[in-house]
Structure 1
Amino acid sequence: MQEKTAMSFKWLLTASFINSFALGFIWPLTSIYLHDQLHQTLVVIGWVMLANALGQMIGSVISGRLFDRFAPFVLIQIGVGVMIVAQVAFIIWHSWPVYPLILVVTGLFSGWNTAAINSYGTQINNRDGRYVFNMLYFIANFGMVFATAIVGPIYAFGIIWLFVISLVMYSFLFWIIRRHFNFSIARTKADVKISLDQQLSVWNKRLIWTVIIGLGILWISYSQWLGNLSVYMSDVLSLPLWQYSMLWTINGLLIAAIQLTMNGLNLVASRRAMWIQIFGGIGFFGLAFLVLPFVNNFTGFAIAMIITTFGEATAFPMIPALINELTPNGLKGRFQGWAAAAPSAGRAFGPLLGGLMIEHSGYHQMFFAAAGIVLLALIGVAIMVMWGYRFTTHYEQ
């Protein structure tokens, strides 16, 4: 197969969309399937979801490190190839206890593939890095929202059909990768030395790890939206489940509108705009949790979700973009892997921490605690940026 000379941004976005779309047929209904069809307790389901999220985190870290050391083209083919095999396994074995074991494997390699795609994004040389990661974030969310919108009706015909569709999508993704991802990454001897010796300036390291840890903290709070809030709305406030689902429709549509507007107006090209997005986005994100204790109807939750989405859509894409700016070519994959692992860590431990807080103090105190840790993340990132950014070395593509 002929090797290309540069990564195509169009095909990278296509791969990101298909990867998220295919993944959207696997995990959204996992809890319902485990509870209603496999008759597992909520405690067991919690452990399964924890193992899946930890798998995503580990896969992201491993994939990012390997991206800098080995052939990325082989790396991503392995990841997508395993996901194809996993879908076949799901079709054949989807009973207890094999189903959760396969689910952990899919968690590992979904994290693997996401980190690989983000690492490929660092190799787009004809676009500004902030624009690249804004678009990657938008297209991945769009794929997930599109999948979750249709997964419910398809599930009514049997869970096997979800795995069949996912198998077709991953097979298509493998074909795209074979045709459009085989290009040479120019690495100098200095890049290799950096990759092996892990040499990076002190302030680059400090800032990179600050934003990665901050992203993980934000996802600890965000994970309350993904799980505990649905229980709060349905069991405590007796609101119908469709209203909770509608919040995510609002989230997906608003992310698309925000990202397309910012990219259309070229707002992401400015470094000043990047700081506004990061600080303002984190601030909005925390503000929503201060709203939640005082609302008890769909309108109030919709307002809180709109505030959350403004924060998410502006701050989250800028963190991998900033990491890209602060890492040389030989270390980009490693730290993009950690950036992809941070949300998985938040999803792994957030529901557990939120559940403990709810049992001890109730939902309202959990919301205030979520706002508090977001504030701590904002203060930590702001201090490190204002103190040390001027001492960092920049690596523009």
Structure 2
Amino acid sequence: MSIWRSYPRSLKVLLLAMLVNSTGMAFLWPLHTIYITQGMGKTLSEAGFVLMLHSGAEIIGSFLGGYLYDRIRGKRTLLLAVLTSASLIFIISIGLSWPIYILSMVLLGLGIGTIFPPIYALAGVVWKEGGIKSFNLIYLVLNFGVAVGTSLGGIVAQFSFRYVFWVNGLTYLLFIFIVWFALDEREPVYEATVKEDAALTPKKEVRHTKQSFHSLFILCLGFMFCWVTYIQWQTSISNYMHQLGFPLSAYSALWTINGLLILLGQPLIQWFMARLKRPVKWQLLSGVIFFILTFALLSHSQSYGGFITGMVIMTIGEILIFPAVPAIADRLAPLNRRGMYQGLVSGAANVGRTIGPFLGGLLYDGFGPLVLLYSCIFICGFALICFGTYQRLQYTQKEISTVKVHK
């Protein structure tokens, strides 16, 4: 409780809003396919097509969210995105014809994608001295909300899919209430300084921005590769386990382990990384190595114990990578482009989540699970290269220093 009291009020509000949002979203996103196939009577391929469009719209929404943050600030961007998402959820709940449903899902993806860049941009603003700790807390709360939402969503869906949409919509309205009345976003105080510095040393300012953007691009490329492999756990690996004869309950238990490890192990792992006092680049590299070990293990083991061990190893890698990337982006971002940089990070994750299932399906169906697993190791190698080299494009040695990690 004393640790909670030490956090800035605006960060607490942001964490509460993120908890509400992630819980509401987790009510619905695992059930989209079931709703389309069972509730609307469509085929699995049709459901996959709609979800692909939805994910593609989230990519665009990520860039839009970052752009709007830099133009109209985070609070207004969040209110606009969440109000749009809530309206679409309630519209979908009334029952729509197939073409209108597809359009609504695309617009919903656009709204949902717009939410996350301002969340992460604000996390770097409301507690600047916290360094990476703000992003660790956002990541922890996000996963806690997902664990709660997914467990409750299935229960509610047993009564009616409409209730699931309503609960999701109500959480969006609660999110709006929290952000509107409780989030205190101070006006930026750096704009005049930035303009003045640019007038004094325009070439240096432009060069710094260009080098930081190039570093961010390499970082995001590595992040995308990580997501391409990570998403296989939710798609191809589930089919692989079914092919081996494991029941759905055995697969679901792996995600329970994942959630518990994140909630219980994330603070411990981050404390350990802080004690090591190593540059955050080594945290990223370590995380990718854990990813590689996971797929290497699965390629040589078909036992359920192997899948449990693989999930444990993968979760450790996830804890090391996923909060660190937006924290580094916040460190790289020029003062007036924080939103754009977080938009690119969110966009990279969405690209990985979009192309990962398609690529995994092609490899699995065409060549089998072993080729898919070896390909994931190969893809992780590209992530390793990206994370190992992104800092080389920085302008000065001071600018390539690690994200500040506090004990």
Could you state the TM-score of these two structures normalised by the residue count of structure 2? 0.89
Structure 1 residue 28 corresponds to structure 2 residue 21: no
Deviation at 1:162, TM superposition (A): 0.6
Instruction: Please show how residues 355-394 of structure 1 align to structure 2 within 5 Å.
Output: 355-385=361-391, 391=397, 393=399
Q: Answer whether contact 1:194 1:331 (CA < 8 A) is retained.
A: no
Deviation at 1:182, TM superposition (A): 4.1
Are the structure 2 counterparts of residues 44 and 271 from structure 1 closer, same or farther at C-alpha, using a change threshold of 3 Å?
Answer: farther
Q: Distance in 1 between matches of 2:322 and 2:207?
A: 24
SS where residue 28 of structure 2 aligns?
coil
Instruction: Please show how residues 132-171 of structure 1 align to structure 2 within 5 Å.
Output: 132-171=134-173
Q: Answer whether contact 1:38 1:95 (CA < 8 A) is retained.
A: no
Q: What corresponds to 1:217 in structure 2?
A: 225
Are the structure 2 counterparts of residues 359 and 230 from structure 1 closer, same or farther at C-alpha, using a change threshold of 3 Å?
Answer: same
What are the superposed Cα offsets for residues 135-170 of structure 1, whole Å, 9 maximum, x if unpaired?
111111111121111211211111011111112211
SS where residue 53 of structure 2 aligns?
helix
Q: What corresponds to 1:254 in structure 2?
A: 261
Structure 1 residue 344 corresponds to structure 2 residue 346: no
Deviation at 1:230, TM superposition (A): 1.3
Deviation at 1:189, TM superposition (A): 2.6
Q: What corresponds to 2:192 in structure 1?
A: 189
Q: Which runs of 5+ in 2 are unaligned?
A: 1-7
- In structure 2, which of residues 27, 36, 39 is the aligned counterpart of residue 37 of structure 1? 39
- In structure 1, which of residues 322, 329, 335 is the aligned counterpart of residue 328 of structure 2? 322
Q: Distance in 2 between matches of 1:270 and 1:319?
A: 19
Deviation larger for 71-80 or 37-46: 37-46
- In structure 1, which of residues 113, 122, 125 is the aligned counterpart of residue 124 of structure 2? 122
Instruction: Please show how residues 194-209 of structure 1 align to structure 2 within 5 Å.
Output: 199=206, 201=208, 202-209=210-217
Are the structure 2 counterparts of residues 364 and 281 from structure 1 closer, same or farther at C-alpha, using a change threshold of 3 Å?
Answer: same
Q: Distance in 1 between matches of 2:187 and 2:181?
A: 16
Q: Answer whether contact 2:225 2:382 (CA < 8 A) is retained.
A: no
SS where residue 278 of structure 2 aligns?
helix
Q: Answer whether contact 1:192 1:330 (CA < 8 A) is retained.
A: no
Q: Distance in 2 between matches of 1:193 and 1:338?
A: 27
Structure 1 residue 66 corresponds to structure 2 residue 48: no
Deviation at 1:203, TM superposition (A): 3.4
What are the superposed Cα offsets for residues 341-382 of structure 1, whole Å, 9 maximum, x if unpaired?
111111111111111112221111011101111112102321
Q: Distance in 2 between matches of 1:353 and 1:191?
A: 43
Q: What corresponds to 2:252 in structure 1?
A: 245
- In structure 2, which of residues 215, 223, 234 is the aligned counterpart of residue 226 of structure 1? 234
Structure 1 residue 108 corresponds to structure 2 residue 116: no
Deviation at 1:324, TM superposition (A): 0.9
Q: What corresponds to 2:298 in structure 1?
A: 292
Q: Distance in 2 between matches of 1:355 and 1:253?
A: 28
Deviation larger for 72-81 or 329-338: 72-81
Deviation at 1:35, TM superposition (A): 1.9
Deviation at 1:223, TM superposition (A): 1.5
Q: Distance in 1 between matches of 2:108 and 2:156?
A: 20
Q: How many residues align?
A: 389
Q: Answer whether contact 2:222 2:387 (CA < 8 A) is retained.
A: yes
What are the superposed Cα offsets for residues 92-121 of structure 1, whole Å, 9 maximum, x if unpaired?
125534333322222111111111111111
Q: Answer whether contact 1:358 1:366 (CA < 8 A) is retained.
A: yes
Q: Answer whether contact 2:219 2:390 (CA < 8 A) is retained.
A: no
Deviation at 1:268, TM superposition (A): 4.2
Q: Distance in 1 between matches of 2:274 and 2:137?
A: 10
Deviation at 1:28, TM superposition (A): 0.7
What are the superposed Cα offsets for residues 157-215 of structure 1, whole Å, 9 maximum, x if unpaired?
110111111122111111101112242231323446999x9935243222211111111
- In structure 1, which of residues 78, 89, 92 is the aligned counterpart of residue 91 of structure 2? 89
Q: Answer whether contact 1:118 1:336 (CA < 8 A) is retained.
A: yes
Q: Distance in 2 between matches of 1:159 and 1:62?
A: 30
Q: Answer whether contact 2:287 2:317 (CA < 8 A) is retained.
A: yes
What are the superposed Cα offsets for residues 289-338 of structure 1, whole Å, 9 maximum, x if unpaired?
11112232322111111110000011111111111111122111100011
Q: Which runs of 5+ in 1 are unaligned?
A: 1-5
Q: Distance in 1 between matches of 2:99 and 2:123?
A: 37
- In structure 2, which of residues 13, 16, 19 is the aligned counterpart of residue 14 of structure 1? 16
Q: Distance in 2 between matches of 1:75 and 1:269?
A: 37
Q: What corresponds to 2:359 in structure 1?
A: 353
Are the structure 2 counterparts of residues 164 and 152 from structure 1 closer, same or farther at C-alpha, using a change threshold of 3 Å?
Answer: same
Q: Distance in 2 between matches of 1:358 and 1:325?
A: 39
Deviation at 1:269, TM superposition (A): 8.4
Q: Answer whether contact 1:285 1:311 (CA < 8 A) is retained.
A: yes
Q: Distance in 2 between matches of 1:200 and 1:156?
A: 57
Q: Distance in 1 between matches of 2:287 and 2:227?
A: 13
Name the Cα RMSD after superposition: 2.5
> Kindly, what percent of the aligned residue pairs are identical?
29
